[in-house]
Amino acid sequence: MMESIIRTVDAEVADFAAAVTRGAGEVLGDNLHAAYLSGSVALGGYVPGQSDIDIMAVCRHPLPDERKRKLADAVSHVADTCPTRGLEFVLYSRGAVATPSRSPRFEINLNAGPEMPYHLSLDPASEPSHWFVLDVSIAREHGLRLAGPPSHEVFAPIPRSWLLDALEDSLVWHAEHETLTHYSVLNACRAWRFAEEGVWSSKEAGAKWARPRVEDPTVIDAALEIRRGQARRLDPSEVRAFVMGVRSRVARIPR
């Protein structure tokens, strides 16, 4: 299966994903049940130097904290070689994702890499749960298999009403916390498209979908240009207004 992944994604990304999977396997052994590339790589929107690489892994049995930290150290070491800004690595136990949850209980949530601030959490209660609800849904539908069964056999489907609630929460978070404002615009476009059509897409595809549906697409155009490496600036107040406008649209969609 790893060979098929290598044929469908950027070679550097494929090699890095293989190295992360090997590193996780060396610590977990037979306890490694599955691993998937997700996020922008799986959705066809990977931009070298800007995108993160998202890998979601699943172990057969929950881990003691000592083993979690050993795994995080091993994956962090591999993340130093990440070909883009960084790695987002999340590990779940098989039981945690076999049934849907509004608060998926991860074993490890790790951010690491050349240009990504290091972050390690072993406590799901310390993190906003909406990110994990959305990420599990994307991985289930689009995860590129690195090890184990197909993703739809591992991750349970999440009810649409829960996903819409999580999208609303994510939009509020972007309006209040995101400093890279073009990400807020593009994520809002992707959220809007999913809410309307039930389709997960890349950020750029979401923006192209949203563009003809707004009266003035200037803020979307600027966000796309920044995404492509052009020097543009966005007014944070305009970004917040756009994001909260999308949130209002999502809130009106029947559950």
pTM: 0.93
Residue 112 in contact with residue 79, Cβ under 8 Å?
yes
Burial 185-210 (b: 16+ CB within 10 A, else e): bbbbbbbbbbbeeeebbbbbbbbebb
- Please report which residue ranges of 9-159 form alpha helices under DSSP H: 11-28, 39-42, 65-79, 94-97, 129-142
CB atoms within 10 A of CB 61: 12
Question: What letter would DSSP give residue 158?
Answer: P
What is the percentage of the chain residues whose pLDDT exceeds 90? 89
Residue 129: its pLDDT value, please?
97
Residue 93: its pLDDT value, please?
98
Instruction: Examine the pLDDT at 67 and tell me if it is beyond 70.
Output: yes
**Mean pLDDT (whole number) for 70-84:** 97
**Mean pLDDT (whole number) for 202-217:** 97
Position 23: which residue type? G
CA distance 186 to 202: 9
pLDDT (tens digit per residue) in 10-52: 899 999 999 999 999 999 999 999 999 999 999 999 998 889 9
Burial of 179 (0-12, 13-18, 19+ CB in 10 A): exposed
CA distance 219 to 239: 7
pLDDT confidence tier of residue 3, bands split at 50, 70 and 90: very low
Instruction: Examine the pLDDT at 110 and tell me if it is beyond 90.
Output: yes
**Closest to 181 (Cα-Cα) out of 117, 239, 245, 246:** 239
**Mean pLDDT (whole number) for 126-150:** 97
- Please report which residue ranges of 9-125 form alpha helices under DSSP H: 11-28, 39-42, 65-79, 94-97
